[in-house]
Structure 1
Amino acid sequence: MTARRGRRAAGKRRGAPRKWRGKPWKPWAVCGTALLLELLLIWSPLRPYAAGVLILALLGFVLWWLWRTDRMARDRDRAWREEEAVRRGRRSLARADVMTGTEFEELVAGLCRRDGCTDVRRVGGAGDTGVDVTGRLPDGRTMIIQCKRYAPGRAVAGRDLRDLLGSRVHFGADLAICVTTARFSRPAQDFAAANGIATLHRDHMGLWNRGAALGSLLGVSGGGQGDGRHRVRWKKTYGEA
């Protein structure tokens, strides 16, 4: 009891109650507001002016609140876009390398939708006639996609692209695309170039997965595999088939 009384006495000697400590302006603000209201009640000629001031203050507060809300929403949207760009930039094909064939087909279908393709459907499975994804490009052309989730050291053979060419005729598609996490053999690359089949090898797939648009990659279809020296470096990097 003695100690408690001592603390109370010390608090009184220190001055302001605990809730006002560190914020000396609060008592003055409360007192000033009370005094202003008392003057307005006593001196009636000031009431119209005070009402105008209060209305303007209220309008200013509403405008400030709307501006602040809009700024906060824009800041949150900007932060989300920056974070998404960072996540997209950090994506790699390491995730695709451990996917099943079905998961890789879903990834390709999702990238098509991201780039504005419509009517995108995954049709891979038993009896898919060499087609895993169908859809329509943003320019209206119909497309079929064959997905080859191979180990990086493997190569897509020419027979796979011959099957894809037959599927393009079967579906009546405007464009046939073969996407792989590996590379294309020389016969497969030559066959694709001769028959208008778009080929996206591992390097292109990595660019697509990191944000490049499908339309921009179709313009470099089949390129980037280089000569024999490039293929030697590829094998050193990814290993033999």
Structure 2
Amino acid sequence: MTARAFGKSAVNRRRGGFDLRSTTLFFVFLAVVVSVLGFAARMVAGTVERRPAWVAVLVVVGVASLVGLRRRWHVARAARRAAAALDAAAREAADELEALTIPPQRAGAEAGVRYDDLTPEEFEEAIGALCERDGCSAVDVVGGAGDLGADVVALTPDGRRIVIQCKHYGGSHRVGSQDLQRFGGTCFTVHEADVAVLVTTSDFTAPAAEYAESCGIVCVDRECLQAWTDGTGPRPWEAAPAGGWAAGRGKAGAGS
């Protein structure tokens, strides 16, 4: 065996063998720890023998502190939960209040609505939406079979009862005098309208316009409807003739 090989063998034996220095240090440290713990235990035992009341007080104080910390933690958690619940309740109340103070708008109240693209039922809803937008109350869309000419019924801002019939016609289909006569026969006598309105997406024939004027029915043609929608023209109840329900009933009865 060469000297180099012998040196490597000696190093390997030192690395894998017993390390006296490390073992000695470990036992010295262990002895110090045991001594300290023993000294502390003797001190505690001596204190318990000499001052048992003090020890009891310290124990009670420690337990009370732990209990207090736990209670404060529970109280803080409960406070956080209560604050979250109050915040959620406040948000819900605010949403409900907003829903009550701001009436829901019907489809079609916007100025850019295209009436030609609507169905007759949607057109009635759109007219009801215009009435709501402009301050009418108790707006009711009642169009359908058996409505006797009343498609929309409402109260104007000044408290008058307005009855509206809606005619969703194409541009070539004008509202004739027969349409006006049928509406004139019910709007005042049956529905007791203070303001009777016939609104259409088309136009009125001359005889129809003459009959409407004679019995006090407000005619709203395509152009007037667009002006009402855009806010550039009068509202139908603002153009109603003087005399109200009594005058209109008398003229309609004479015309029919």
Q: TM-score, normalised by structure 1?
A: 0.51
Mapping of residues 32-111 of structure 1, within 5 Å: 91=112, 95-111=114-130
Amino acid across the alignment from 1:145: I
Match of 1:210 in 2: 230
Give the one of 122, 143, 146 matched to 2:141.
122
Is 1:165–2:184 an aligned residue pair?
yes
Mapping of residues 137-152 of structure 1, within 5 Å: 137-152=156-171
CA contact (8 A) 1:200 1:217 kept: no
Task: Give the C-alpha shift of residue 215 in structure 1.
Answer: 3.2
CA contact (8 A) 1:132 1:144 kept: yes
SS class of match (2:225):
helix
Match of 1:230 in 2: none
Is 1:187–2:212 an aligned residue pair?
no
Separation of aligned partners in 2, 1:216 and 1:173? 13
Task: Give the C-alpha shift of residue 114 in structure 1.
Answer: 0.3
CA contact (8 A) 2:227 2:234 kept: no
Mapping of residues 21-32 of structure 1, within 5 Å: none
SS class of match (2:196):
strand
- CA distance 1:137–1:156, change in 2 (3 Å): same
Amino acid across the alignment from 2:210: D
Q: Which 5+ residue runs of structure 2 have no aligned equivalent? A: 1-108, 242-256
- CA distance 1:134–1:148, change in 2 (3 Å): same
Match of 2:28 in 1: none
- CA distance 1:120–1:131, change in 2 (3 Å): same
1:120-178 C-alpha deviation (Å, 9 max, x unpaired): 10000111111100011111110100001111122101111111112221011111100
Match of 2:196 in 1: 176
What is the root-mean-square deviation of aligned Cα atoms in Å? 2.2
State the aligned residue count.
Answer: 132
Is 1:198–2:218 an aligned residue pair?
yes
1:180-210 C-alpha deviation (Å, 9 max, x unpaired): 0100001100000000000000000111121
Query: Which stretch shifts more, 211-220 or 122-131?
Result: 211-220
- Percentage identity across paired residues of the two chains: 39
- CA distance 1:157–1:113, change in 2 (3 Å): same
1:89-120 C-alpha deviation (Å, 9 max, x unpaired): 6x25xx21011100000000000000001111
Task: Give the C-alpha shift of residue 88 in structure 1.
Answer: 5.6
CA contact (8 A) 2:200 2:222 kept: yes
Separation of aligned partners in 1, 2:146 and 2:160? 24
CA contact (8 A) 1:130 1:146 kept: yes
CA contact (8 A) 1:133 1:146 kept: yes
CA contact (8 A) 2:166 2:198 kept: yes
Which protein has the larger Cα radius of gyration, Structure 1 or Structure 2? 2
- CA distance 1:220–1:197, change in 2 (3 Å): closer
Match of 2:175 in 1: 156
Match of 2:152 in 1: 133
Greater relative contact order (CA < 8 Å, ≥ 6 in sequence): 1
Q: TM-score, normalised by structure 2?
A: 0.48
SS class of match (1:150):
coil
Match of 1:112 in 2: 131
CA contact (8 A) 1:180 1:201 kept: yes
Amino acid across the alignment from 1:197: I
